[in-house]
Every structure is written in structure tokens, then in C-alpha cells.
């Protein structure tokens, strides 16, 4: 759990699969003039422990969100979620209506039954996660490696640095001796299971129970949850707005934090401007 600082009403920021709260630091910085920003590492991510039984059903991510809100004593904060984080805050609101005053979901992993069925048959993200490189000789080596190839090469440099800082731990080097290396905190086997479980939660079926305003956005250049899925989610929500962020992909909140923060502030009516429709 992290307090990013800022002034104003509370907002809880929830990260995407495989990432950690630290990566949302630049977004929080851009929201801080209007919100007091909080974050959390979902189970098995960042500095949070993995579930002892290895159960990564996404209902657990909703429990993580609700636990942090209760621990902090927050009264109807706003919520921001990116990808898995978007599903987590929607699931949390479904589990306990009235938790949030408003929500902003950037490409939430929430799918109708037809899309879930396709993902159950073939899930390239789950397969790819098992092949991820877990260790690097140093943080500097990791930064150079990630900076050289997409999607990480498209990230804001500070968000990438914070990902390495918060998403890796120091371990003994495979070379032996007294040498050290860094290793992903979110183990690739766990990340693969998280991706596989994405097709099993039923957030989509209960979207009609969410009463607070929700903005559902996507990146113009996304290869993931684009306008069709965005609109399918919004159509099920009683009070929804949609937006497309120009020039961004699925990792938009980590690519251009100021642009996403500006969209959040507009959508929630925090700064002058008409919310997107």
C-alpha cells in the first residue's frame, strides 16, 4: 500500500497485470494537485505476497482493493484502474456497492461471454508470460533491455524506472560467489495464471449493478481492449462515458501519464471541461 501524496479527495490507483503500484507514480504526480493518491500492489505483484494456495482468481484482486480502502478508512474514494486494475475496481464495486464515488477504467479486462470463451481456448498472454525473462545482472541492465523493445520502450522513462525499482528484488547472482542480480517479484508462472484467470471472472455480467459514474477509455493505437470491448462494457453500465486517447496504446497510463491524468480530471469533473460522451 502506498500514499503517493497530493491534495483533495482520495483516489485509489490500481495497476495492470505484471506491473506494480510504483509504475503509477507519474500518473499520481499529475493528479496530485486535485487528488490525494493511494496505490496498492495486488497479490503476487510488487511487494505484496503471492497467495499461499496459488489461487489468482480475480475476485481476490477486488478483495485486495477493498482491504486497502477499509484499512485506510476511505469514504467513497474515486478509483482508477488500468487493465487488470480496471477489472479489480469494477469487481470491488460489484462486491460492495457504494464503495466508490466514481471510477475511471483504462482498457479494463472485462469481457462478454463470447470474448471470454475465445480467451479460454487460446490465451497468448498466458503463454508469453511463461517465457518472460525474470533476472538481470542489474537495474541498469534491465533498463537498457526494456528500453530497446516494445512495449516497454514506449513507456515514460520514469514509469519504466519505477517499474524496475518496485517490480524487481535483489537476489544472489546465478554466476555464484558474492555477486547479486535482480529478479521479477511477480514470477512468470504466477503472471501466466493471472492472465488465464482473466477469462473466468464475471464482472461483465454484473456491470448493471454499478451505480456510480464510470468512464471507460482506450488508447487509439491499442492492440488489446479497443473501442468494441470498451463500448460493450459501457453499454452495460447505468452511468457511463467513453473516451479514446489519441496516440496511446494499451499501456497509455504508463506511456503518457500527463495525458491520461488530464482525461481523468476531465471525466470526473475536477477541472473545467465537458466530460467525454
Q: What is the full per-residue pLDDT of the chain (277 aa) written as tens digits? A: 999 999 999 999 999 999 999 999 999 999 999 999 999 999 999 999 999 999 999 999 999 999 999 999 999 999 999 999 999 999 999 999 999 999 999 999 999 999 999 999 999 999 999 999 999 999 999 999 999 999 899 999 999 999 999 999 999 987 666 689 999 999 999 999 999 999 999 999 999 999 999 999 999 999 999 999 999 999 999 999 999 999 999 999 999 999 999 999 999 987 654 444 3
Q: What is the pLDDT of residue 174?
A: 78
Q: What is the pLDDT of residue 276?
A: 40
Q: What is the pLDDT of residue 269?
A: 84
Question: What domain range is 60 assigned to?
Answer: 2-267
Whole-angstrom distance, CA of residue 108 vs CA of residue 124 = 18
Q: What is the 3-state secondary structure (H, E, C) of 97-145?
A: CCCCCEEEEECCCCCCHHHHHHHHHCCHHHHHHCCCCCEECCHHHHHHH
Task: Count how many domains the chain has.
Answer: 1
Instruction: Read off the CATH number of the domain in which 31 is found.
Output: 3.40.50.1820
Residue 129 lies in a domain: yes
Q: What is the 3-state secondary structure (H, E, C) of 26-49?
A: HHHHHHCCCCEEEEECCCCCCCCC
Residue 20 lies in a domain: yes
Q: What order of strands is seen across the sheet that includes strand 168-172?
A: 135-136, 180-184, 168-172
Residue 276 lies in a domain: no
Residue 72 lies in a domain: yes
Residue 273 lies in a domain: no
CA torsion, ordered 246, 247, 250, 255, to nearest 10 deg: -120
Residue 18 lies in a domain: yes
Residue 191 lies in a domain: yes
Residue 275 lies in a domain: no
Q: What is the pLDDT of residue 274?
A: 46
Amino acid at each position: 500500500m502506498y500514499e503517493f501524496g497530493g491534495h483533495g479527495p482520495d483516489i485509489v490507483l490500481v495497476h495492470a497485470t505484471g506491473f506494480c503500484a510504483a509504475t503509477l507514480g507519474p500518473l499520481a504526480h499529475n493528479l496530485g494537485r486535485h487528488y490525494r493518491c493511494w496505490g496498492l500492489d495486488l497479490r503476487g505483484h510488487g511487494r505484496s505476497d503471492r497467495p499461499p494456495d496459488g489461487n489468482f482468481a480475480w475476485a481476490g484482486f477486488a478483495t485486495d482493493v477493498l482491504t486497502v480502502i477499509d484499512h485506510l478508512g476511505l469514504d467513497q474514494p474515486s478509483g482508477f484502474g488500468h487493465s487488470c486494475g480496471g477489472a479489480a475496481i469494477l469487481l470491488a464495486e460489484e462486491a460492495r456497492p457504494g464503495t466508490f464515488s466514481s471510477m475511471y477504467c483504462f482498457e479494463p479486462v472485462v469481457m462478454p461471454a463470447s470474448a471470454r470463451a475465445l480467451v479460454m481456448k487460446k490465451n497468448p498472454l498466458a503463454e508469453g508470460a511463461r517465457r518472460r525473462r525474470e533476472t538481470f545482472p542489474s537495474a541498469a541492465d534491465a533498463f537498457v533491455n526494456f528500453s530497446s523493445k516494445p512495449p516497454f520502450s514506449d513507456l515514460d522513462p520514469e514509469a519504466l524506472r519505477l517499474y524496475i525499482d518496485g517490480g524487481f528484488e535483489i537476489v544472489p547472482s546465478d554466476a555464484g560467489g558474492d555477486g547479486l542480480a535482480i529478479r521479477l517479484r511477480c514470477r512468470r508462472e504466477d503472471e501466466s495464471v493471472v492472465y488465464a484467470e482473466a477469462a473466468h471472472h464475471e464482472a461483465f455480467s454484473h456491470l448493471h449493478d454499478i451505480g456510480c459514474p464510470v468512464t471507460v477509455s482506450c488508447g487509439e493505437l491499442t492492440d488489446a481492449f479497443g473501442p468494441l470491448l470498451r463500448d460493450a462494457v459501457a453499454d452495460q453500465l447505468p452511468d457511463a462515458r467513453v473516451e479514446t486517447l489519441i496516440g496511446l496504446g494499451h499501456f497509455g497510463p504508463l506511456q503518457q501519464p500527463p495525458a491520461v491524468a488530464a482525461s481523468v480530471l476531465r471525466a470526473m469533473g475536477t477541472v473545467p471541461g465537458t466530460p467525454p460522451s
